[in-house]
Structure 1
């Protein structure tokens, strides 16, 4: 087992949960931006002009790219911290759903070029995967808090 210096142990232990809560909030913001981007397709007039000026589509892509990168890194980091602290991974629902989420965010992001070419199937699949991702993320937030509570009670 790798020995982490005492001053760094709280950082290694709690970096993953803190990052994931930030990413969960950003995921909800990305969903809001995605809904606004979707609305652009059916609006006209001043409302459409306001959304274009707000650059909701660009912000949606930027937040999505950030989420892709940091969700993958967060999943790896969470597994690494668990392994470093315990010498093993705990294979259970939290780990398995986290791995599924990592795959979902990657697949969702990979649909971007098809959506840019006008594929309605890609758009619907992107939205469906992301709604599933938001649901999984909410569940992960709850189970993650339970894990953090167990860690705090053990110390």
Structure 2
């Protein structure tokens, strides 16, 4: 029975998914949260089963408020440590706060990368460029392992 009513309000869930970003949430997570929200709503207001227009309004309000609470929690300063720690910096670099390396470390870092790139044979230089463009290719992991060895002493 819940699936029947969820099919009616699923559009609200997917519109919210387009409007708000929740870290590590996929489509299935949004659907699950929508179903939980709908269950709680119908549990506390069973009369909404008969009043379809009211169901849409109540669900939209309840679901959006629930998502906004989750977004606030995600973005709050004191909860930054709750975020997952296993992300690669290349994937989240656009969200890192400004500052980063000190100027001398920045130049040393790029000098080390340039030296490494110049020592590579031509065919590996192309894969190196593809790595920095965040492309997926065969040999990516081995190149990352090589770079890890290069940076080990740094």
Normalised by the length of structure 2, the TM-score is: 0.26
Q: Which has the higher contact order (CA 8 A, sep 6+)?
A: 1
Q: TM-score, structure 1 length as denominator?
A: 0.26
**Greater helix fraction, Structure 1 or Structure 2:** 1
